[in-house]
């Protein structure tokens, strides 16, 4: 039976497409988010742009016991990481029941659910609009030039193989 906070999250996220969830530490394990269709922002559950990944998980630490050694977690939250979470569409931040945000980010977060977990709503979060455009123009140019070159090779090959009458 799912924990009550999972139902609370599912109800909120169903009406807010494009928003995601992030957790402090390992409060929301990847298999739990996958099983209950919670769009969790983690290395295991979503692709993150390389530069965003470096900024978000700078100073990261992984839980040490052998069963959870592969999980990468957010251990602290500062203004830079909060802004990055907003850009990545994170509206809900899950933490242990007694956790409180640092003074620097407290004004941007509202405690929305508190029982077995505490869920903070991040004000200013926008639905995730996709990854940056970096590289897409070069890819389109490469595909276009490859198509032109391929068509040219095809036509020249057909002309070369054509039997003279």
Return the pLDDT at 127.
86
Q: Which two tokens stand for residue 33?
A: 């988010």
For residue 24, give the nearest of 1, 40, 3, 8 by alpha carbon: 40
Task: Report yes or no: 28 and 94 within 8 Å, Cβ to Cβ.
Answer: yes
Q: List, in sequence order, every beta strand (DSSP E) within 44-144.
A: 90-95, 109-114, 118-122
Higher pLDDT pick, 44 / 137: 137
Task: Report yes or no: 110 and 124 within 8 Å, Cβ to Cβ.
Answer: no
- pLDDT tens digit string along 56-112? 666 544 444 555 544 556 767 888 888 888 888 889 988 888 888 889 899 999 999
Whose tokens are 């742009």? That residue is 49
- pLDDT tens digit string along 115-155? 888 999 999 998 876 655 556 677 778 888 988 998 988 88
Phi, psi values for residue 61, rounded to 5°: -140, 150
40-43 long-range contacts, CB within 8 A, separation 24+: 41/85, 41/88, 41/89, 41/90, 42/71, 42/72, 43/72
CA–CA distance, 101 with 4 (Å, rounded to integer): 23
For residue 57, give the nearest of 70, 43, 40, 74 by alpha carbon: 74
């Amino acid at each position: 039976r799912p924990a009550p906070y999972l139902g609370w999250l599912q109800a909120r996220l169903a009406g807010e497409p494009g928003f995601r969830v992030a957790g402090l530490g390992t409060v929301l394990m990847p298999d739990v988010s996958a099983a209950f269709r919670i769009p969790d922002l983690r290395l295991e559950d979503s692709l993150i742009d390389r530069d965003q990944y470096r900024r978000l998980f700078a100073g990261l630490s992984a839980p040490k016991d052998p069963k959870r050694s592969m999980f990468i977690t957010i251990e602290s939250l500062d203004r830079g990481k909060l802004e990055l979470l907003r850009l990545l569409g994170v509206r809900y931040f899950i933490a242990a029941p007694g956790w409180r945000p640092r003074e620097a980010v407290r004004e941007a977060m509202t405690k929305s659910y508190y029982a077995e977990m505490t869920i903070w709503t991040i004000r200013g979060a926008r639905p995730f609009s996709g990854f940056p455009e970096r590289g897409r123009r070069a890819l389109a140019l490469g595909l276009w030039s490859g198509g032109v070159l391929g068509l040219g090779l095809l036509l020249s090959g057909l002309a070369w193989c054509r039997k003279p009458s």
